[in-house]
Amino acid sequence: MKAYWKLGVALGAAVLYLSTCSKTVQWDEEVPLNTGQTIWVKRTVVYSSQGGAGNPLDVADRPEREQAIEFTWDGRRYRYEGDARIMVLAISPQNRPVLIAKASDNSWYAEHSYPCTTPFYVQLVPDESGQAWTWPPYIDKWLYNLPANLLLSRQPPGQMKSRYTSADRQTEDAPGAVQNVSQQRIDPTYTGDRCMRK
C-alpha cells in the first residue's frame, strides 16, 4: 500500500512540475480574404505539458485553449486573445474585420452561454479599439460558405514553422478537414452535436 501511495505522490509531483513548463509559439500566416486581398497575420499559441484527453498520464506539450491573432486592416491594428478556435478572418460589407469559429470547438458555447443556432458558429466583432471582441446571437448570412482561411492544425512546438503560406495551411489542415465540411467552410447547415441532441 505504501508503494502505491509513494508512486501516486511521485506521479502527481511530476505532472505538477510539467504543468508549470510552457512554450510560446508564434508564426506569421498568409490569409486570403473574401475581398480578394491577402494579408499576413501573427498567431500566438502557448503550449504546456498536459495529459491526454483519454489518458492523463500521456503527458506531452499540447496547445492551450487561449490563442492570439494580430493583424492590421485599413490602417488599424487588431488583436484577439481568447478561447475561440478561429477558422475564418473576413471583412464585412462595412469594411470591418470579423473572426469566425465553430461554437462547438473547445466547448466555447458552454463557456460563454452561447445559444444553439444554425449554423453553429460564433462571429466575433471588434470594438473601436480593435482589442475587445463581442458576438451577436448568430452569424451574418454574408458569411455563409466562406472558406476557412486560418490554420487550425497544431504540431508539437518544435515542428511548427515560423511562416505559413496559404498553400501550407491547406496542406496542414487537409487531414482534419477532408470529411468535415463545417471545417472547410462556413456551412449554413452545420448544427453541431449539441444542437442535434435537442
pLDDT of residue 194: 63
pLDDT of residue 198: 47
The answer, yes or no, to whether the previous bond of 119 is cis (omega within 30 of 0) is: yes
SS3 106: helix
pTM of the model: 0.81
pLDDT of residue 21: 73
pLDDT of residue 72: 98
Cα 147 from Cα 30, distance rounded (Å): 14
pLDDT of residue 10: 47
Beta-sheet pairing, 76-82 with 86-91: unpaired
pLDDT of residue 126: 98
C-alpha cell at 5: 501511495
Q: Minimal CA–CA distance to 157: which of 59, 54, 42, 22?
A: 22
Cα of first residue to Cα of last residue in the chain, in angstroms, is 47
Q: Is 75 left (phi over 0), alpha (psi -120 to 50) or beta?
A: left
Q: Is the dihedral of CA 153, 155, 157, 159 positive or negative?
A: negative
pLDDT of residue 68: 94
Q: What is the mean pLDDT of each run of 10 residues along the chain (198 residues)?
A: 52 49 89 98 84 58 77 97 96 97 90 92 96 96 97 83 94 82 94 65
- Continuous segment of H or E residues that includes residue 109: helix 108-111
